[in-house]
Each structure stands twice: as structure tokens, then as C-alpha cells.
Structure 1
Amino acid sequence: MEDRVRPAAPHPARDVTEHVGYRLKRASAALRSAMDKALREHGLTVPQYSCLELLDEQPGLSNADLARGTFVTRQSANVVLRGLKDAGLITRADVTDHGRALPVHLTPAGQQRLHVARESVYAVEVRMIEAIPQRRLAALLADLDAMAEALTD
């Protein structure tokens, strides 16, 4: 068996739990778990909530737009949209005037559900950001954006 040379770590770390990627994943998993718990009370999943938020900001988005904005595949977005439509929270045109994209809109029930759920989600975010000094929040957000941009093809 051939001896393999271990590549140098990207920064000093005693073990994998001290790597930036590990810490980001841990924070992401904790956020997802807290959001899942908060949204369960409103009968929503995180992807459903994310779709409602995007549609509130940009009515008429297509399935592909929503998939990109919620970080899921188009097939997964279709499942999410079907659930939202069955719950009466969105409307989706059967045909479109141009192209193939079918615009999606919130219903009044969708707007109401979003409003109530948003309070729960924002409470989760408040809990999360209260764990760091307020003076460091802007730098943290800039650093997260820079890391994402560094990995974007």
C-alpha cells in the first residue's frame, strides 16, 4: 500500500471541527433545525417559507427562479409549489402569454401565513445574531458574502 502525503490544512486546526467549512455547516444545520421547529407550528417547511418570502418580494417568479432562490432543484421546487398550491397559499397560471415560465403569486391566505410565520423565523434569527456583538454583524455578513463569491463559478 502506498503512503499518501496529507495535504497541508488551509489554516491551523487541531481537527476537522476547527475548519471553517465544518463550522459553517454546523451553524447552517442549527439554523435549519430551529427554523424547521418554528415553521412546523405554521404548517410550513423551510423551502415553502422561502418560496413565500421570495414571492412576497418578487411576485410572478417562475419555478426556475424559485428553485434558484431557495437553493433546491427545479424538480424539488415543483413539489414545494404543488404543496403550497394545494394549501391555497399560491396561484400558478396554467398557461403563460410568453415563453414557458408559469408565473407564481401569493394568495391572500399565503400572505397571511407568511406574515405570521415570518415573526417566528425572525425570532430565530434574533436568537442567532444576539450571540455575537452587534458591532461585528456587518463584518460577518460581508465575510459570508465574500466566501460565497469566492466559491461561485
Structure 2
Amino acid sequence: MDEQHPAPRSKPARRRFHTDVVTDIVGYRLRRAQIHVFQQFIARFAAHDLRPADYSALALIDANPGSKQIEIAKALGIKRANFVALINGLEGRGLVERRLPANDRRSQALYLTPHGLEQIAVFNKVQADFETYCVDRLGGPAARDQLMDLLGRLLDAE
């Protein structure tokens, strides 16, 4: 080739990008799966402006009306200060109310409001549809049960 038209440079060979150094780690896979599941959850609940922790708190309050804030927070693994902020948000939306129990003036019992009871029925339907999606992705109820058992083993190790 002449000086005005040099020969084209060849691209260097692309080296293989190795991901198995992390993708074979249980914790890494769990975290990536959690991120994906949370993204799917957020997309499905976007119209309701509901996050996974919001739904979980509402579901537990619905199943355990009158429970103390600390009981729900502990079940969710949420620090007290963070849980108070979460409940403040749900209370501000008219979904949850705090009441003083007759036998313990130091704590607050949590209840769904009438609006909260209406909304949890809607949220439960969205969650049921999402659970069906997840179970289908796993390969059916037997695979779901196996995954839940395996995850339980990791939790029981504490």
C-alpha cells in the first residue's frame, strides 16, 4: 500500500471474558437472582408504587392484625429505625394505622385500615400472579419446593 492509503489495522483478538470465577459462587448467584426477582416485582407493582418490603409488611400485618411493630420488623429482618420509616410511609398512604394496645402503652400495634384491607386484596392478586411466573420459571411446583428447601438450609445454618 502507498503512504496515502496505509494498510488497515487488524483488530486484536478479543480475549474471552471469564465470569465463572463469580458465577459459580452460591452467594453471587443468590444475589443476582434476588436482583432479577426484585426488578420483576417492582415492574409488576409499579402501578401501585409498592416495593417488596412494603408488600411484605402489609401481608404480615394482614395475617397478624394487632402485632407489635417490633414483631413485624423482626420477621422481615429490618432494623427498627428503617421499619419505622417504612410504616410511616404506609401510614401516610392510608394503608396502615398504629394503635396503643390496652395492655402495653409502650408499644404500638399495627392494623390495616379499611383502605389497606381493600388494597391488600389487590396486592395479593398481583403477588399471586408474580409467584406463578416465578414457579413457572423454576420449572414447576416441585422445583419451587426444592429451591425453598435448599434456601431454608442456608437460613437454618445461622
- After TM superposition, the score normalised by the length of structure 1 is 0.82
Runs of at least 4 residues of structure 1 off by over 3 A?
none
Task: Answer yes or no: is the 8 Å Cα contact 1:52–1:114 preserved in 2.
Answer: yes
1 or 2 for the larger relative contact order (CA 8 Å, sep ≥6)? 1
Match of 1:61 in 2: 67
Report the 3-state secondary structure (helix = DSSP H, G, I; strand = E; otherwise coil) of the residue aligned with 2:97.
strand
The one-letter amino acid of 1:145's match is G
Match of 2:11 in 1: none
Residues 31 and 96 (structure 1), Cα distance of their counterparts in 2 relative to 1, 3 Å cut: farther
Matches within 5 A, 1:1-153: 14-94=20-100, 96-98=102-104, 100-134=106-140, 135-150=142-157, 152=158
The one-letter amino acid of 1:74's match is R
Aligned partners of 1:40, 1:72: CA distance in 2, in Å? 22
Aligned residues: 139
Summarize deviations over 1:30-71 as a string: whole Å, max 9, x none.
111111222221132222111110011111122211212223
User: Runs of 5+ in structure 2 lacking a partner?
Assistant: 1-18
Give 1:20 deviation, angstroms. 1.0
- Work out which of the two has the higher radius of gyration on C-alpha atoms and give 1 or 2: 2
Aligned partners of 1:125, 1:38: CA distance in 2, in Å? 11
Give 1:105 deviation, angstroms. 0.4
- After TM superposition, the score normalised by the length of structure 2 is 0.79
Aligned partners of 1:109, 1:43: CA distance in 2, in Å? 15
Summarize deviations over 1:80-120 as a string: whole Å, max 9, x none.
11111111111102565325221010111101111111222
Residues 96 and 85 (structure 1), Cα distance of their counterparts in 2 relative to 1, 3 Å cut: farther
User: Runs of 5+ in structure 1 lacking a partner?
Assistant: 1-12
Residues 59 and 137 (structure 1), Cα distance of their counterparts in 2 relative to 1, 3 Å cut: same
Aligned partners of 2:133, 2:79: CA distance in 1, in Å? 30
Aligned partners of 1:104, 1:80: CA distance in 2, in Å? 12
